[in-house]
Amino acid sequence: MARCDLSNAELLDPDPNPDPDPNPDPNLDPGHESAGSSQSSHRLLAYSDALISIIATVMILPVAHTAVETNEELRQSLQVLLSTKIAVFLMTFLIVSMAWAAHSRLFQVIVRIDDSLALFNLVCMMLITLLPYTFSLMASFPEHVLGILLFCSCVMVIGMVQTVIVIYAFRRPHLLHQRLQGSPHLPEYQHHLLRVILRVPLMCLLASLAAAVCFQLSYVLLAVVIFLPYMSSWLQWLRIKVLGPEEEPAGELLLYSFLPHEPVSKERLEAFSDGVYAIVATLLILDICEDNVPDPSVVSQRFNGSLVLALRSYGPEYLAYFGSFATVGLLWFVHHSLFLHVTKVTRLMGLLNTFSLAFVGGLPLAYQLTHEFPRHSQNELEAIQISCVIIFFAGLFQLCIWVVALHSQKECLGPAVRYGGREHLLMFAKLWLYPCVALGTFLLTCVLSQFSSPIFHLMELTVPVAFLLLRLLLRLLLALRHSLLQRPSSSTLPSAADSENTFGPI
């Protein structure tokens, strides 16, 4: 496909498997090749991000649709079932996020595509969409070898397709990153890349072989596969903290080093996050559109033909939808505000973002729960408290991203939100708002348990207004503090002005 502009003489040799180019010289004829057959990968990556983020988030649906019995006797067993399902959801989310991260890193090296690469990538996408299904099969039938085999073979086939993509792209150096094109070490880079890509599929091959002997062993191997990147990232971070930073490898290899400082594509991280926020925001309306359009015969029989009465019975669902949409929308807004000022995303920040998104993905479950129980029951209280916990952690991990970015603020942040920057305090307030409000609501519902539902809905209504007035509120607060500090003793004025400068004017 990359040879579309060959002369007619070569028409007679329709070799579908073109010879490898032993001399990847970018100066050979780069414009000639790249103008015709290669394309910007921007839209392909945006589509992949949309697909993967939907797939990662969609596994909350089987959890959210678990039939909740109001019978108190069944509650205990249901809680076990639910917590198993939530664990499966979190694992699936991490696995698909890992697949996304690998895809993202691969296409940081391969920056242009052609038709064949686009089609190979679609195959890769289709296989990634199968990961949640095979994983939940494995989780439902932990003692069946078939579940393990299906999941492992899915991972292995993805690895094979990615290997094909790498080999295909390295034979056409005009598709690679500018810095690699001129490099004389191209075969070594390809070798390094393939080694990193094939590490996970090889572990899965081992795990599926081990399943024939003893299926517990294969779970140990799979757990190593899933948590290895996270653990190695934390270990290396700790080592750097303790022993000081080691010699960093050359720029090209940094893309595949698994170091916590390794840069991640900010654009793709945003696109992936947008996808998760968008699908989470719409999951509840999806249910509402399907389940809450009353049947005409039911309305005429049970409600004497009154549509108002029929719709009134859905009231809690509507309230849950508005609450869910507002919360997800505002968490997106905070994320958006933060990443406007982020200039470089490191692996560690990407990891924290994944954790935050995993909690955001849990929101539909929380809201589903809040309207399914009778008023003033213990279940309702627990459901509302679970919602608070989920919102708290989703907001907290967003805050962590900022704290990590502040740690190396010169590289990672724009000047406006650094210490002393003009928007620093505002960003601080935006990121603290949800964790604080969620914690406050949680504590209030513990004390005033009979009012838990009104408290929660009041919180949902006030937070959007708080965001709208945040700048004004902060300005008022600072003015208040300023005037309070000024009055008792005028000598404290310089220090007050000083501390204000630390946060910067708003």
Residues of this chain, 256-285, that bind its own copies according to CB under 8 A:
270-271, 274-275, 277-279, 281-282, 285
362 touches its own copies (CB under 8 A)? no
457 touches its own copies (CB under 8 A)? no
12 touches its own copies (CB under 8 A)? yes
* Backbone angles phi and psi of 505, in degrees to 5: -70, 155
Nearer CB in complex with its own copies: 58/389? 58
Count of residues of this chain found to bind its own copies when the rule CB under 8 A is applied: 93
- Give the one residue of 16, 31, 184, 494 binding its own copies; rule: CB under 8 A: 16
160 touches its own copies (CB under 8 A)? no
418/258 Cα distance (integer angstroms): 26
Using DSSP, state whether 418 is helix, strand or coil. coil
Nearer CB in complex with its own copies: 12/242? 12
- Beta partners for residue 263, in sequence order: 346
- Give the one residue of 9, 14, 22, 213 binding its own copies; rule: CB under 8 A: 14
131/138 Cα distance (integer angstroms): 10
- Give the one residue of 30, 34, 44, 433 binding its own copies; rule: CB under 8 A: 44
Cα dist from 119 to 44, 116, 124, 216, whole Å: 10, 5, 9, 37
Which positions ≥6 away from 401 have C-beta within 8 Å? Answer: 338, 342, 349, 352, 353, 356
409/480 Cα distance (integer angstroms): 30
DSSP for 480-505 reads HHHHHHHTT-GGGHHHHHHHHHHH--
* Backbone angles phi and psi of 5, in degrees to 5: -105, 25
Min dist. Cβ of residue 272 to its own copies (A): 11
Considering only residues 302 through 331, tell me which ones interact with its own copies, judged by CB under 8 A.
307-308, 311, 322, 325-326, 329-330
Min dist. Cβ of residue 214 to its own copies (A): 18
469 touches its own copies (CB under 8 A)? yes
CB 251 within 8 A of CB 180: no
CB 279 within 8 A of CB 53: yes
CB 383 within 8 A of CB 369: yes
Two structure tokens written together for 96:
């698909």
Min dist. Cβ of residue 293 to its own copies (A): 5
- Give the one residue of 100, 339, 434, 442 binding its own copies; rule: CB under 8 A: 339
Considering only residues 48 through 67, tell me which ones interact with its own copies, judged by CB under 8 A.
50-51, 54-55, 58-59, 61-62, 65
User: Binding string to its own copies for residues 400 to 419, with x set by CB under 8 A, is what?
Assistant: ----------------x---
Alpha carbon 425 to its chain's center:
26
289 touches its own copies (CB under 8 A)? yes
402/230 Cα distance (integer angstroms): 19
User: Binding string to its own copies for residues 207 to 246, with x set by CB under 8 A, is what?
Assistant: ----------------------------------------
Nearer CB in complex with its own copies: 299/485? 299
- Give the one residue of 272, 423, 429, 442 binding its own copies; rule: CB under 8 A: 423
- Per CB under 8 A, the segment of 114-122, 224-232, 372-380, 384-392 that binds its own copies is 114-122
Nearer CB in complex with its own copies: 292/409? 292
Q: Is 160 exposed, middle or buried (0-12, 13-18, 19+ CB in 10 A)?
A: middle
164 touches its own copies (CB under 8 A)? no
Min dist. Cβ of residue 88 to its own copies (A): 10
148: nearest Cα among 203, 197, 105: 203
Two structure tokens written together for 493:
């004025």
Min dist. Cβ of residue 249 to its own copies (A): 32
